[in-house]
Structure 1
């Protein structure tokens, strides 16, 4: 059944919520990560979600964060600026019956500017395209203590964007699919 104001749905691929479909709010610029790309990313992460603390920046539809939660993440924080989209994320957490998720309605860059109270093991950065937000978010994640010592950071940006990650991040895998450039980094502790 469609929910008023929604334009579609996402499907959880694997884990405890496998096959569940969640409504997605219709918002400008919202483009959920496709099943194909999501499946590839979680194959790259093989087991890294188990008991992980997960931060989903620019959460949008929440497809990456919900997939991590389904694969037994211990905690999920979804950060979304749009009020209606954030409300839909909270509703979808309720649909899943999970008490391990939290939605923060905030501008991601403002949220990341404050020092982290606890670091995350896995972070998804999938900002709106063509707004120059990815590089700023990556720098803040590193400088403000948001990342655990060997954290994994997945970044999804528009094709052709020259993006520099912090120097202590090692590129693990990358994929080009349609208009999307996807990269998975692993952080290495600096001395």
Structure 2
């Protein structure tokens, strides 16, 4: 549980004041991740929940360097805080980050610096992010993807990246939903 408290405190410091809506989203993502305990088991739930708290810290004005928030956040965690490597990789690769990295010309940087985390953990983090609204509420993956696309014009690289990664994001959510259904 040490990772979770530390991650929550760090995220609060970096997001709460400068980016209150992002902070609300982050709280919702972490709550969703913590709800997966029956699916993930205790250790993996702690790791996914900690990564949920930290997944968007790269948006913080104090950390934003490249414009690719997963890379900026993961670099900060690794290079400044010497965080657990699995945690860094989850933050680096969350929610289709490789596709956005490619759109930004940073795919080699992201892929070269951070290995892919175990798929069940990455799916759980993606599920948590892609079923949480910008204000921290619950929604379907379809509505979340639609909401993101509505915020960006079709010419914007985020719009292109989400359009390209939508099948993989939806599949990750479905993988977790299937695991939840098997338990119920």
TM-score (structure 1 length as normaliser):
0.36
Between structures 1 and 2, the one with greater strand share: 1
Between structures 1 and 2, the one with greater helix share: 2
Q: Which has the higher contact order (CA 8 A, sep 6+)?
A: 2
TM-score (structure 2 length as normaliser):
0.37
